[in-house]
Structure 1
Amino acid sequence: MAGTLYVVGTPIGNLSDFSPRAVQTLQEVDFIAAEDTRVTQKLLNHFQIKKPMTSYYQHNLRERGEEILARIESGENCAIVTDAGMPCISDPGEDLVGLCAARGIPTVVIPGPSAAISALAVSGLPTSRFCFEGFLSTNHKNRMEHLHQVAGDRHTLIFYEAPHKLIYTLQDMLEVLGDRRIALCRELTKLHEEVTKTTLSAAVEYYTQQAPR
């Protein structure tokens, strides 16, 4: 009888946000599939969990995915975690859950924090309709095409971006989307959490002179 894949949300910064159910799940599964085993080991150490891990990340999806599936189909239970937040959201876990769905392997969600939803909640922007767009392409042409595709959308758009690319993304957004209200959220749930409610034009002006942290 096949085992089960547990999709376990992890803290996005504050370890106190890790739920008792998530702790119990990691204690009870046979092994853990982690995006970065070094990051997950710190989480396990904090909660005094001893469990074997296997790495599952962008560059070993196919080979390692088949290995994990074989173990689950043999009867083992596996928990998949990402470095921070919910697996499968801008995360390679999406592929593993898809493989399980294709083979009829049970999957169970253990909900946890999500940076996208947390940011939306404190943004001050409309929340009744929104679309998560994830990371934009590092290729300028592809990034601009993506922005043009969503330019006419009337709902709130959520993007992830790295600090060193923020100013370029803001400039492209201002060019394609026009000036509009935005919220920039960083270090959510951490000691230095920061939510800046501004406009695209004001953000471009500010970050042209001040590099983001």
Structure 2
Amino acid sequence: MQAAKPVQGANPEQGRLVLAATPMGDIGDASARLREALATADVIAAEDTRRTRNLAAALDVTLTGRVVSFYDQVEVSRLPGLVAEVEQGRTVLLVTDAGMPSVSDPGYRLVAACVDAGLPVTCLPGPSAVTTALALSGLPVERFCFDGFPPRKPGQRRAWLETLVREPRAVVFFEAPHRLAACLADAVEVLGGERRAAVCRELTKTYEEVRRGTLAELADWAVEGARGEITVVLEGATAVATDPVDLVEEVERLVEEGTRLKDACAQVAESASRTSGAAVSKRELYDAVLEARRA
């Protein structure tokens, strides 16, 4: 098997940090580059050392490097030592339990620390629950945003959902199975029951399941309970055009308070465009006000 190529532009004798995606369930998703990296890394920083050793055994790979734990509670304390390893010319491999490091998993602080120190950082692409769920959702996902895990407290979760009311991009997020029903019920109230979504469960594993439908349909399904790791894809909001006639009264209210007509039209048109997600013409609104006055 060929050795992994050095980072472009980096000194081959210099150390580096390598982020590697690991299988989410199906061991067959492990890449040849992941096998090579596990076998040759000087240091392996693992979210769960036992799971990483089990992964290596399943891949028939012998770990020759030192394996250290790198999970949320020890992430900050481990940074100086790992950065020092790279500075001393060693390859540090960062892996999490499943999927890509730094994506709702430990990693970004170590990446930032190495970048700040001017050290090479590279990545071995591979499995990701985010992109897998997007591809399976059956929704328009040409543009999307990832929002990690929703807030746990109901009030904060509803406030988060309010920010998605007019979000035009698809939104993908993770959710704990025991909170899924409550999250979807809140989504129905805040976003409306007709908004489409997909709930992806146990991706790439034996009991993989993808439920597609409206938020109302998915909320009813989730009441029975869901198990496993959950990834949700929410359809982006559709921009709704605002009829300038419906804004005339608001413009006239501003005019009565002393605002010039043109300034009032500009202010109301800008606010309506931001709220609806569809542009409102200042000229058309101005003409609608004049027409209403003539009528």
The alignment's TM-score, normalised by the length of structure 1, stands at: 0.95
State the partner residue of 1:196. 211
Give the deviation of 1:144 after TM superposition.
2.1
Report deviation, 1:14: 0.4
Which sections of structure 1, spanning at least 5 residues, go unmatched?
none
- Counterpart for residue 116 of structure 2: 102
Look up the match of 2:235: none
* Alignment correspondent of 2:56: 44
Counterpart pick for 1:166 among 162, 176, 180: 180
Residue 49 of structure 1: how far off its partner (Å): 2.3
Q: Tell me, yes or no, if the aligned pair for 2:212 and 2:218 is still in contact at 8 Å.
A: no
Instruction: Find the aligned partners of 1:195 and 1:205 in 2 and give their Cα distance.
Output: 15
Residue 77 of structure 2: SS of its match in structure 1?
Answer: helix
Kindly provide the amino acid, as one letter, of the partner of residue 53 in structure 1: V
Q: CA deviation at 1:148?
A: 1.5
Percentage of pairs with the same residue: 42
Runs (4 or more) in structure 1 with deviation over 3 Å come to none
Structure with larger Rg: 2
Instruction: State how 1:61-210 maps to structure 2 within 5 Å.
Output: 61-179=75-193, 180-208=195-223, 210=224
Supply the distance in 1 between the matched residues of 2:156 and 2:81 (Cα, whole angstroms): 34
Q: Which amino acid aligns with 1:63?
A: S
Give CA-to-partner distance per residue, 1:87-118, whole Å, 9 cap, x none.
11111111111111111110111001100100
Query: Could you state the TM-score of these two structures normalised by the residue count of structure 2?
Result: 0.69
Matches within 5 A, 1:9-48: 9-47=21-59, 48=61
Question: What is the CA–CA distance in structure 1 between the aligned matches of 2:163 and 2:70, rounded to whole Å?
Answer: 31
In structure 1, what is the equivalent of residue 283 of structure 2?
Answer: none
Give 5+ residue unaligned stretches, structure 2: 1-12, 228-295
Alignment-derived partner of residue 60 in structure 1: 74
- The 8 Å contact of residues 8 and 86 in structure 1, kept in 2 or not, is answered as yes
